[in-house]
Structure 1
Amino acid sequence: MYRNNQASMNSQKGNVYIIAVFIIVVLGMLTLNLTRISWSNQDTLTREVLGKQASMLAQSANEWALTYLFPLDEDDDFTTLSSRCSTLGASAIDAATALVENSAIPCRAPIISCETSPSNIPSEMDDIPEELKHISISSRAICNSGNTFEVERQQTVWVRGVKDE
């Protein structure tokens, strides 16, 4: 008594094709999902790098503006600072363009603005109440990677405690 192995092998040929197609479909879907995850990670990394570049550019623009407002060995009363603040825009364009041109980052020149306080802030220093003013410096930087992503970062610096002389 023996079985006919030839008949049993012929009846199982269809099963091998079904299993092969199933494995190919499963591997194809797995490959597609891994590719999507890889692209997603690359997009996230690109946005993160552009965001960091924009943030650092805005910070550099604010630091330049503070250097412009408070030059060494010059008066820092509110009237002088207020006049420097009003002329900051014209000087900032050249400085901002130089910041971008001297670096290899894909960003536009940051926009720097300066505003003085409309009113005094009450303060008590050394037990002598006095009125102090403040100045707000704001920088906005936009970086992009071709036409794919555009990232914008804005930073604001407040200069408080400026005496009105």
Structure 2
Amino acid sequence: MYLSKHTSISKQQGNVYIIAIFVIVVLGMLTLNLTRIAWSNQDTLTREILGTQASMLAQSGNEWAMTHLFPLNEADDFDSLDTRCSSLSSSATAAANALIANSDIPCSSPTIACEASPENIPDGLRYLKVTTRAICNESNVFEVEREETVWVRGIKL
């Protein structure tokens, strides 16, 4: 851009204002998009951490159920396991509360359930299904639920 004899400097000052407004708008939009990306990354990380905590809590519940179903020096046949399975829900609440009390995670007590296979299955194929469900939430904003299931068979001696 050059100055002609007929163009004064005061007439060209409007171009600087247009360029300055354009730069401010572009930088503002760039800042806004970068802020959105940062919030999105933080939300994803929070959900991932809560999901891992819920998964580990559900796994801990299943491990506790396995120690209840297979105590040391006890019979491991299906009938004994079925009896322990029916008594699992009464002691599971105390165990679930202990799992939460001994950790510093924002989760509610996991639910541990045990159910036997249907009666019409042959004895050699009968099984127990132990399911633990854990729910973790952060300030009632995010809620993540994980469920883990273990299939158990008795040992026939």
TM-score by length of 1: 0.87
Counterpart in the other structure of 2:125: 132
SS of residue paired to 2:126: strand
Counterpart in the other structure of 1:118: 118
Counterpart in the other structure of 1:146: 139
The structural deviation recorded for 1:148 is: 0.7
Counterpart of 2:10, as a letter, is N
Counterpart in the other structure of 1:64: 64
RMSD: 2.0
CA distance in 1, matches of 2:8, 2:132: 79
The structural deviation recorded for 1:8 is: 3.2
TM-score by length of 2: 0.91
Matches within 5 A, 1:26-105: 26-105=26-105
Structure 1 unaligned runs (5+)?
123-129
Contact map agreement 2:110 2:132 (CA 8 A) in 1: yes
Counterpart in the other structure of 1:18: 18
Counterpart of 2:99, as a letter, is L
Instruction: Give the strand-richer structure, 1 or 2.
Output: 1
The structural deviation recorded for 1:121 is: 5.2
Deviation per CA, 1:22-72: give whole Å up to 9, x if none: 100010001001100110010000000000000000000000000000001
Aligned length: 155
Contact map agreement 2:127 2:154 (CA 8 A) in 1: yes
Structure 2 unaligned runs (5+)?
none
Counterpart of 1:141, as a letter, is A
